[in-house]
Structure 1
Amino acid sequence: MADNTKTPLVWLITGTSSGFGSALVASVLARGDRVIATSRSLESIKHLETPDNADFVRARELDVTSGAAVITATIAEAAGIWGRLDVVVNNAGAGYGGLLEEAGSDLLRKQFDVNFFGVMDVVSGTLPHMRAQKAGTIVFMGSRSAWKPEIPGYGPYGSSKAAVHALADCLAAEVAPLNIRVLLVQPGSFRTAIARQPFHTANPIAEYDPFRNLALTRMTTLMGSERGDPAKAMEAVVDVVRGEGSASGKKWPGYLVLGVDAEADVRAKCKRAVDNLDEWSDVAKAMDLDVD
């Protein structure tokens, strides 16, 4: 339900044709905020904007791989619709499956072009507007795969999301003095239609046959069996940004881990890291120069 005591926020969201993006648009509108919904294909989202809701929704074509100049121009036009951009959500992404040696750096470049460099181009196009208005929130859609990338076939995707996590952390430190907030959302398995590309099988290496077959089976059976509800996840994101609902009375989190599986994986990785530090602490601390 909308909170009419608050000034409506203006959100720009990438990748709104399905999944998290579509659910987020619905949640934002239900709170009484305004949305500039974007997608690589305008045809897939043009139904969102109608004469009756033009005061609250605008649809724009935005391909995050179209290059910095095009993206910057698109965001500038979007910022002019209601005169500001309060929240920008980097949701657009894709998943490229493949074993690392078989796929090589070519597949990694394709994956990073969408999930990392495209995100950075959107951020670069956004920040001048938020700096000018001395306020704003930038949301990154990360992934539990950044915490658990050691699953055969998920290397390109997990690597790109790990890079997004580092990018979000660094940006948060750089823009905090400018009254700009950063939120890194880290979801586990949710029932969304991520833009998955065909699994890379063009360069099969016999030694990897068991891993490739396992990866193909996993990716085929996982789709449609995820336990996470995208609508609930995006409700939580809006709660945090607006400081209401589940976020009421809590400090700005910076990180938002969503899903039972994501929480378990983050805790497991942190425990392994601490256990490793404990075991190798004597080595870590023995690296100082010997001083006479």
Structure 2
Amino acid sequence: MASSKVWLITGVHESSGNYHIPTPSGASSGFGRSLVSSVLARGDRVIASSRTLDPIQDLDGTNDNLRLLQLDVTAGEEIIASRIAEAAAFWGHIDILVNNAGSCYLGLLEENGSAILRKQYEVNVFGLLDVTLACLPYMRAQKDGTVVVIGSRSAWTGEVIGLGAYGSSKAAVHLVAEALRAEVARFNIRILIVQPSAFRTRMVRIEDNYGTQNPIEAYDDLRRENIDWYAARDGNQEGDPDKAMEAVVDVVRGEGRAAGKPWPEFLLLGKDADRDVRAKCKVMTDHLDEWSEVVKSVDYQ
């Protein structure tokens, strides 16, 4: 891919795109800032967007190839369309959209109820779709474009307690992106679904985002164990966000380890992702083998 492409990256100030939980002092800046640094280092241009501009004002004026954009992905279709028009006006086009903005609400499904699911989907699914659809007319007009969706390996691990709302939103995102891929391929628009495992981005944090507002006594022990489990993992994840985003840029630009390889459509990142996706695929193929007689017995004769 030629240089001087224009990237629009959402959720730059949030840790791993985390939409509501601030990055504490000393923590990793997350996927967004790692991606901005990697793209600029390759000579491309970046529009770094954030729900509010204050947290990314330190980026202003640091590079002639960088512009800042206030963009709340939950603002609704009309406002988002106007913000994307503003973004397109910076350099006249948008070549690559990276849907990085997101949120992660932890907790038990029965305690949190549907309210937390709606809150989770508002950012991770509906916000992502609104931003993507606002960018597509520009990509269709130039008959070229790339949409990167930051999903999660959590979509494959529904049995992990506490991640029901988040994991289900990412599973929805994966399917939406696959459906969209089939529709826009005729316009030379590619979609890359990135599925990271646990990275040291402070995305999954206990403070302020584990739902305990409606405690059910029967879950007291499980809830305490779950909170302790996440607290122990916080800051000890094996994944390096800088390396992850270097891999994403390699794929989009066809460079480095992606040079000469076909477009992958998916990019799983991390040893946990490798293990968990293989395990879920085995569960399903084992089921098909064990229940094959029943599975294939329900058609009209």
TM-score when normalising by structure 1: 0.95
- Tell me the number of residue pairs that the alignment of Structure 1 and Structure 2 aligns: 284
Paired residue secondary structure (1:94): coil
The one of 7, 15, 18 equivalent to 1:11 is 7
Match for 1:160: what amino acid?
S
Match for 2:63: what amino acid?
N
Q: How much does 1:149 deviate?
A: 2.0
Q: How much does 1:195 deviate?
A: 7.3
Match for 1:178: what amino acid?
F
Gaps of 5+ in 1: none
1:239 counterpart residue number: 250
What whole-Å deviation, never above 9, does each CA across 1:248-279 have from its counterpart, x for those lacking one?
11110000000001110011001111111111
1:29 matched to 2:40? The reply is: yes
More displaced 10-residue stretch of structure 1: 147-156 or 209-218 = 209-218
Q: How much does 1:194 deviate?
A: 2.3
What whole-Å deviation, never above 9, does each CA across 1:85-112 have from its counterpart, x for those lacking one?
1100000111101111111000100000
Q: How much does 1:41 deviate?
A: 1.6
Paired residue secondary structure (1:190): coil
- Among all aligned residue pairs of Structure 1 and Structure 2, give the percentage whose two residues are the same amino acid: 57
Alignment check: 8 A CA contact 1:93 1:195 kept? no
Partners of 1:233 and 1:251 lie apart in 2 by 19
Alignment check: 8 A CA contact 1:15 1:92 kept? yes
Match for 2:11: what amino acid?
G
1:179 matched to 2:188? The reply is: yes
1:39 counterpart residue number: 50
1:253 matched to 2:280? The reply is: no
2:198 counterpart residue number: 189
Paired residue secondary structure (1:95): coil
1:270 counterpart residue number: 281
Q: How much does 1:6 deviate?
A: 2.8
**Large movers: runs of 4+ above 2 Å:** 193-198
Match for 2:12: what amino acid?
T
What whole-Å deviation, never above 9, does each CA across 1:21-51 have from its counterpart, x for those lacking one?
000000000000000000112011122120x
The one of 225, 233, 258 equivalent to 1:214 is 225
Match for 1:132: what amino acid?
A
Q: How much does 1:126 deviate?
A: 0.6
1:228 counterpart residue number: 239
Match for 1:248: what amino acid?
A
Gaps of 5+ in 2: 14-28
More displaced 10-residue stretch of structure 1: 211-220 or 140-149 = 211-220
Match for 2:277: what amino acid?
V
Alignment check: 8 A CA contact 1:152 1:212 kept? no
1:286 counterpart residue number: 297
Match for 1:154: what amino acid?
L
TM-score when normalising by structure 2: 0.92
